[in-house]
């Protein structure tokens, strides 16, 4: 891998056929694996970026009722039938 870091491209072959390449990172590619992974998902159309840019702060979450509150509401709803 030191050769790839120095700018060399290394070819991995299986019976004379190239099956993989190790090369220096592309200058436009992020150095962070998570960014590369997300960009690959967008390229494969498995992930669609938001149409409206984010403001940076996520929206406030609605309070989530407890499971016992949900069951109580279901019981009262069934009782009225």
What is the domain range of residue 32? Answer: 1-49
68 in a domain, yes or no?
Answer: no
Instruction: Please tell me whether residue 28 adopts helix, strand or coil conformation.
Output: coil
| Positions of the chain with pLDDT under 50 | none
**pLDDT tens for residues 11-34?**
899 999 999 988 777 776 667 777
Q: Give how many domains the chain has, as a whole number.
A: 1
pLDDT at residue 10 in the model? 83
Question: Is residue 4 a part of any domain in this protein?
Answer: yes
Token couple for 81: 């039938």
Tell me if 72 is assigned to some domain.
no
Buried residues in 48-66 as b, exposed as e (16+ CB within 10 A): eeeeeeeeeeeeeeeeeee
């Amino acid at each position: 891998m030191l050769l790839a870091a120095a700018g060399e491209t290394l070819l991995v072959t299986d019976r004379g056929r190239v099956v993989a390449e190790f090369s220096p990172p592309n200058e436009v590619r992020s150095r962070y694996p998570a960014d590369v992974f997300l960009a690959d998902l967008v390229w494969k159309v498995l992930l669609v970026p938001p149409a409206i840019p984010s403001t940076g702060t996520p929206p406030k979450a609605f309070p989530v009722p407890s499971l016992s509150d949900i069951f109580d509401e279901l019981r009262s709803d069934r009782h009225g039938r």
